[in-house]
Chains A and B, each alone.
Chain A
Amino acid sequence: GQNIDQPTEMTATEGAIVQINCTYQTSGFNGLFWYQQHAGEAPTFLSYNVLDGLEEKGRFSSFLSRSKGYSYLLLKELQMKDSASYLCAVRDSNYQLIWGAGTKLIIKP
């Protein structure tokens, strides 16, 4: 079967750095996406990785290792507005997205 695993919840301090991990087992791999979802709102796109390595975009970076079936999202200089759920999704061999349940990130002052 297909499976995406992420921690259910994480807590971090404003101004700090947090790493959210995602491991996956899917039928095929055609890229990995990270989305942010604030409570009661729609998911919004953060990053896309298809090759191994690190993609940096401002305070957010995403890393991929295809051989390990592993990705992480790194958030630096945390702000209160970063409190949200972070969703990992893998595009499978049918080019459909398989979604993890999301990681709820709580930022404390």
Chain B
Amino acid sequence: IAGITQAPTSQILAAGRRMTLRCTQDMRHNAMYWYRQDLGLGLRLIHYSNTAGTTGKGEVPDGYSVSRANTDDFPLTLASAVPSQTSVYFCASSDGTSGSEQFFGPGTRLTVL
């Protein structure tokens, strides 16, 4: 693994189903983030984690949950998917220091029907 990876690349999901988007980084970054990107809107933060074992809510957390059991992994779960959760989801990580850039995964394109 080099950098940050996400799985699946894309997914079509029936409304009401549960879905977990996976994110793994090998840069030993402390901080990790989940964003959604919708046409015409900026990236919006769903949840974040400043370090393993801690998580926090972003701008649009409703309907999503996360966990951070270790440094490398930061899965995002949709407990019961709804069509408004159709979006492109990006996972990102940073070393958490002032001025540090965020590195992004390739994204997951999710369609909820």
Taking the closest CB of chain A, its distance from the CB of B88, in whole angstroms, is 9
Q: B104: CB under 8 A from chain A?
A: yes
How would you classify the secondary structure of chain B's contact residues: helix, strand, loop or mixed?
A: loop
Chain A residues near B41: list those with CB within 8 A: 101
**A87/B43 in contact, CB under 8 A:** yes
| Nearest-Cβ distance from residue A46 to partner chain B, whole angstroms | 9
Does any Cβ of A come within 8 Å of B48's Cβ?
A: yes
* A97 close to B45 (CB less than 8 A): yes
Chain B proximity of A29: nearest CB distance (Å): 12
Q: Please, which residues of chain B bring their CB within 8 A of the CB of A11? A: none
Q: Is the CB of B44 within 8 A of A99?
A: yes
Interface residues in B23-44 by Cβ distance below 8 A to A read 35, 40-44
Stretch at the interface among A12-20, A37-45, A68-76: A37-45
Distance in Å from the Cβ of A108 to the closest Cβ of chain B?
Answer: 23
Asked whether A42 lies within 8 Å of B90 as measured between CB atoms, the reply is yes
Chain A: minimal CB distance from B91 (Å)? 9
